[in-house]
Amino acid sequence: MEDLVKYVQDEFVTKKDHPKFGAGDTITVHYEIKEGDKTRTQSFRGVIIQRKGAGASETFTIRKISNGVGVERILPLNMPAIQKIEVNKYGKVRRARIYYIRELTGKKARIKERARK
């Protein structure tokens, strides 16, 4: 049964070519929002705190601070509304899921930059 689900996902879900990114990287996600009959593009820039799943069901969590409040969004990697993903900065972290960044503020919340891949 799992093979059948994997086959259907691989065949019918269109994969987009996004740049490689992981936990600690700062990215900007441009996605389309539909309000009634109008559509507009909104960007969300933040730090990746995790990537989860594989294949067509892969998701990532992005976090930013907006007006002093932490905002997180969980987005599917193959969401049709995502127009493009830009990697602004590659971060150097030692974990795949950096949940500890939620408790840090100010200079402690900075992530060191690493050389590009």
Residue predicted with more confidence, 111 or 7 = 111
What the chain holds in terms of domains, given with CATH numbers, is: 2-103 (2.30.30.790)
Residue range 84-111: mean pLDDT, rounded: 92
User: For position 117, what pLDDT does the model report?
Assistant: 59
Residue range 23-45: mean pLDDT, rounded: 94
C-beta of residue 55 within 8 angstroms of C-beta of residue 9: yes
pTM: 0.82
H or E element in which residue 39 lies: strand 38-52
C-beta of residue 33 within 8 angstroms of C-beta of residue 42: yes
